Structure 1
Amino acid sequence: NFPIYHTNWLNRRKIIDMIQLAADKYAKGILLDLGCGAKQYKQLFDGKVDEYFGLDLRLRGAHPGETEPDMLASALQPPLPSNTFDTVVSFQVLEHVPEPKVMFREISRLLKPDGHLILMAPQMWHLHEAPNDYFRYTRYGLAHLAEQSGLNVITIQPISGFWIRAGLVTSYRIHKILLGQKIRNLKAVQIGIQATIVISNLFFWSLDKIWSRPNDPINNLLVAKKCSSQANTNPK
């Protein structure tokens, strides 16, 4: 987890909590992480799945405790056999996929009957990883994509409402403005930045607890299931 003085602490804490709840309830067997990056969420599935297999389009720099993908390939054309995985997960990837319907169709193909998809995508977030940043997704958009690919929606949960988003913007602005000063390398200034962000994070975290605004989420978490009658008979 990020320390409380991190600019993304508010959102990251919510994300970890929601993924953990979904993992505890739905993850099992052989798991595929589509767009796994450095497998930063792998530890949340420890003890719940038998195998954790990561696929990404390219290698990324791994941080301590993180690892590289097991396979380099596109989520739109994963060279994997049908009906292979009990669980497919994908976190903060869908917005970077130019053909989301194709990705959902591939997820449905790869899942075993009665297998589960756990997917998170942003509804409100700034432009990032340009130019490969294409879409934002409401709960209704995610439900439509899942249903069109033959998956039954179990739940869609909003993550991080209005106050968390306001807190993130505030923390990022504080960090950017103060680091832009010539005195940014002074230890006292760094401590001051961290202290200010801590105060901001706690303030907006409290507002979110008191007055939640779930209709303004930063992210939505989808859990869907492939029905037992939808076994793919045309494996790749």
Structure 2
Amino acid sequence: MFRVGTTNEEVRVNWIESTLKKIPAGATLLDAGAGESQFKKFCSHLKYIAQDFGQYEGTGDVGLQTGSWDNSKLDIVSDIVSIPLPDASVDAIMCTEVFEHIPNPVLAIREFSRLLKPGGYLLITAPFASLTHFAPYHFASGLSRYFYEHHLPEHGFRIEELDLNGNYFEFIAQETRRVKQVGDKYAGVRLNVFQKTIQHLWLKILGDLSAKDKGSSELLCYGVHVFARRQG
């Protein structure tokens, strides 16, 4: 079975794991907006601190929800734009899939700049486009590369790596696969055998187009991955 539209999370997690390895052993890392600390397992070489606002509980009737959520592993419960740590007190900050849940993510970048030591590392991932999820804490569908290229340098960061995850065809395939779930919930319709066959053929077409892709990620992709350094 072709995998078009299924690699969003896999690629992101692999990027996070490999990028965390670039941070020197013994460094203090703040996981800002850590949630359930799913990436702590990649931080065994680091002094890990988990921060989150701690208000999401996994339940809600709007959009995509997780069903349950565990806030018990947090070290710091605070607003991400006002974290109770001293200036220049951490060596690295990781913020994964959080910016779309912050009313003003630029204020978070400013706070990261305050907290990081000169030369410190910043790792960010966030959607380029996303469906409503974790409502009511969902304030933007996503952010483009130009958001980071504009705001990070303004707050003292040098971008060392910026990757676009997926492409136009991959994103459309992801949402094509989601039609069954969304159709059932929002239209009260389950796909019949003929419709499933059409869906399968459409995914095959999207897979063929993605294999020949030459830059459609500039139009649409899953998300943006950024690795930057705090300039002294």
**Corresponding residue number in structure 2 for 1:22:** 19
TM-score, length-scaled by structure 2: 0.76
Counterparts in 2 of 1:183 and 1:218: CA distance versus 1, 3 Å? closer
SS class of match (1:214): helix
Of the three residues 202, 219, 222, the one matched with 2:223 is 219
Change (3 A) 1:204 1:124: same
**Matching of residues 109-148 of structure 1 within 5 Å:** 109-135=114-140, 136-148=142-154
1:93 aligns with 2:90: no
What is the distance in 2 between the residues matched to 1:218 and 1:22?
Answer: 18
Q: What are structure 2's unaligned runs of at least 5 residues?
A: 58-67
How many residue pairs get aligned? The number is 213
Aligned equivalents of 2:190, 2:32: Cα separation in 1: 42
What are the equivalent positions in structure 2 for 1:67-78 lying under 5 Å apart?
68-78=73-83
Distance 1:78 1:36 in 2: 13
- SS of the residue corresponding to residue 217 of structure 2 reads coil
What is the alpha-carbon distance in structure 2 between the residues aligned to residue 166 and residue 122 of structure 1?
14
Residues 101 and 145 of structure 1 are in contact (CA less than 8 Å); yes or no, is this contact kept in structure 2? yes
| Contact residue 183 and residue 189 of structure 2 kept, 8 A | no
**What SS does the aligned partner of 1:31 have?**
strand
The answer (yes or no) to whether the contact 1:27–1:87 under 8 Å persists in 2 is: no
Q: What's the offset of the Cα at 1:70?
A: 1.5
Shifted more, 21-30 versus 31-40: the winner is 21-30
- Contact 1:88-1:111 within 8 A present in 2 as well: yes
Deviation of 1:159 (Å): 0.8
Over the residues paired in the alignment, what is the CA RMSD in angstroms? 3.5
1:52 correspondence with 2:55: no
Q: Give the letter for the 1:124 counterpart.
A: A
Structure 1: distance between partners of 2:182 and 2:153: 41
Contact 1:10–1:167 under 8 Å retained in 2: no
Partner amino acid, structure 2, of 1:218: Y
Question: Percent of aligned pairs with the same residue?
Answer: 22
Unaligned stretches of 5+ in structure 1? Answer: 230-236
Structure 1's 202 and 223: CA in aligned 2 closer, same or farther, altered over 3 A?
farther
Q: CA 1:146 to 1:183, structure 2 compared with 1: closer, same or farther past 3 Å? A: closer
Tell me which amino acid in the other structure corresponds to 1:145: H
Q: Does the 8 A contact of 2:180 with 2:190 survive in 1?
A: no
Find out whether 1:176 has 2:182 as its counterpart. yes
Contact 1:10–1:205 (8 Å) recurs in 2: no
